[in-house]
Amino acid sequence: MTVPNTPFVSANWREGTFANKVVFCTGGSGTICSGQVRALVYLGANACIVGRNRTKVEEVAADISTVRPGSIVLGIGDVDVRNPDRVNAAVEECAKRLGGIDFVIAGAAGNFLANVSELSLNAFKAVIDIDLIGSWITIKATLPHLLRSAEKYKNDGKSVPNGTGGRIIFVSSTNYHSARVAQAHVCAAKAGVNALSNVLSLEYGPRGITSNIIAPGPIDETEGLRRLSSPELREEAIRSVPLQRLGLIKDIADATVFLFGDTGNFVNGACIDVDGGTWRVKGGAQSGGRPYPASVLPSETPSRKSSSRL
């Protein structure tokens, strides 16, 4: 039975897809990661989200738990992903209370705008520590549980009667494609995160674990998009997307369900850009002095008509 239409996950997925599965998520109180977890819980999973702000994490966990009667969603606060002791303790509490860990979303991240000339060593290191080192600490803490899950839910892709297990998603950024002004710290951190995922896919693929990346683009109703306070800036952001709309948290959730579900059985070491093609605009943003998307749309000017007949 497919799920009814919801604002946070596609109706294409089936109810109970992730029944009896457990997801552990860092950065789980953020808009994107909480959306990912919300979709998984709705489709049958139980979850544990962790973060530094105890009150916020507990409130978000309680809200997520309302999407499916009987679900269990733990919110563990005071967890800084840079602190291995706190992460290990949260992982063990999750496994003890929920019975194991089948899926991991490494989503804790830090970001701010700063040119290299303005970027201090401490500021640069803070983002590296949160995004990259925090992802490393999270994976090291959860790997024993993921290995047990991968063994328990071993499958050949032909038949998965008990579902899937032993899967990792890193939430990265399309910054890995090219440099971005005022984002040296983020570009460096996310490049490292992507490399970490790729190595995991090689080292642990033979043991049944898959490791993949989701790279969100401009997603509406997130902190980054809320900074576009004026209608003009918002419209400019939309024009920069080939699909001519902002992404939805639902778009990220659907990619997550795809990778964790039976649909992702043979996807390993991949990066899915959920950005509507935005990062590609850099190569074709201007043509004949016309900004994107006008540069690729038909023009009514005589010169345009004559050139189109050549």
Instruction: Give pLDDT tens digits for 225-261.
Output: 776 567 888 888 898 899 999 999 999 999 999 999 9
The backbone region for 16, taken as left when phi is positive above 0, alpha when psi lies in -120 to 50, beta otherwise, is left
Residue 303: what pLDDT? 45
Amino acid residing at 70: G
Residue 41: what pLDDT? 98
Residue 306: what pLDDT? 37
Same domain, 107 and 74: yes
Same domain, 304 and 248: no
- Global pTM reads 0.91
CA distances for 280 relative to 60, 166, 236, 292, angstroms? 34, 32, 16, 11
Q: Is residue 65 part of a domain?
A: yes
The chain-wide mean pLDDT, for the chain, equals 90
Catalytic positions: 172, 190
Phi, psi at residue 293, to the nearest 5°? -95, 0
Q: What is the mean pLDDT of residues 282-289?
A: 52
CA angle 148, 149, 150 (to 5 degrees): 95
Q: Is residue 138 part of a domain?
A: yes
pLDDT beyond 70 at 112: yes
Residue 3: what pLDDT? 78
How many independent structural domains does the chain possess?
Answer: 2
Residue 53 neighbours by CB under 8 Å, 6+ apart: 29, 77
| Cis ω for the linkage preceding 291 (within 30 of 0) | no
Residue 108: give its domain's CATH number: 3.40.50.720
pLDDT beyond 60 at 300: no
- Say if CB 110 and CB 122 are below 8 A apart: no
**What does DSSP say about strands 22-26 and 103-106: parallel, antiparallel, or unpaired?**
parallel
Residue 177: what pLDDT? 78
Q: Which domain holds residue 210?
A: 22-276
Q: Bigger pLDDT: 115 or 229?
A: 115
Same domain, 299 and 192: no
Same domain, 232 and 310: no
Same domain, 200 and 309: no
Same domain, 190 and 210: yes
Tens digit of pLDDT for each residue in 151-209? 999 988 888 888 999 999 999 998 877 778 888 999 999 999 999 999 999 999 999 99
Q: Is residue 244 part of a domain?
A: yes
Provide the greatest CA pair distance for the chain: 71
Q: How confident is the model at residue 290 (pLDDT cuts 50, 70, 90)?
A: low
Q: Is residue 124 part of a domain?
A: yes
Q: Say which residue the tokens 């850009």 belong to.
A: 273
Same domain, 249 and 299: no
Residue 302: what pLDDT? 44
Q: Is residue 200 part of a domain?
A: yes
Q: Is residue 10 part of a domain?
A: no
Same domain, 260 and 297: no
Q: What is the mean pLDDT of residues 63-88?
A: 98
pLDDT beyond 90 at 70: yes
Residue 292: what pLDDT? 66
Same domain, 234 and 304: no
